[in-house]
Amino acid sequence: MKLTEAEELLMHHLWQSGKAFMKDLLEAYPEPKPAPTTVATLLKRMIDKGFVAYREYGNSREYYPLVAKDEYFSSQMKGLISSFFNDSTAQFASFFAQSSNLTTAELEDLKKIIDQQLKQKKP
């Protein structure tokens, strides 16, 4: 399942803090800050989607993420590769390397990462 752009921004605040009350989340936003009702609506939608949960302390709720950042990012990357690159990670890597204007040093760094992964995968 996908988060909207506004939900992703709020989720980033939760991932960064690990857990937070509404006032903490509002403080994390730059000016102009969204209305508390807007953040409450986003949190409700994210709870309904299974991304966020909360603990109640009297009248206050402490929110925390149910989905790890890397888990979410990985699922979004898989969806992107599936939708735009016919489930081919090779097509994605080729497109990324050719169209992102990487420097020689950045390409060398990528090559090292790939070489490392190849070494780890070999029996």
Q: Where are the alpha helices (DSSP H) in the chain?
A: 5-17, 22-28, 36-48, 69-84, 89-99, 104-121
Average pLDDT over residues 106-114: 89
> Could you tell me the pLDDT band of residue 63, with boundaries at 50, 70 and 90?
very high
- pLDDT for residue 1 is more than 80: no
- pLDDT for residue 32 is more than 80: yes
- Cα separation, 37 vs 44, whole angstroms: 10
**What CATH fold (topology level) applies to the domain 5-65?**
Arc Repressor Mutant, subunit A (1.10.10)
Amino acid identity for residue 11 in this structure: M
Note the pTM of the prediction, 2 decimals.
Answer: 0.76
Structure tokens at 123: 């029996």
**Which residues are CB-neighbours of 16 under 8 A, at least 6 positions away?**
28
- pLDDT for residue 88 is more than 80: yes
**β-sheet bridge partners, residue 56:** 61
For the chain, what is the radius of gyration of the CA atoms? 19
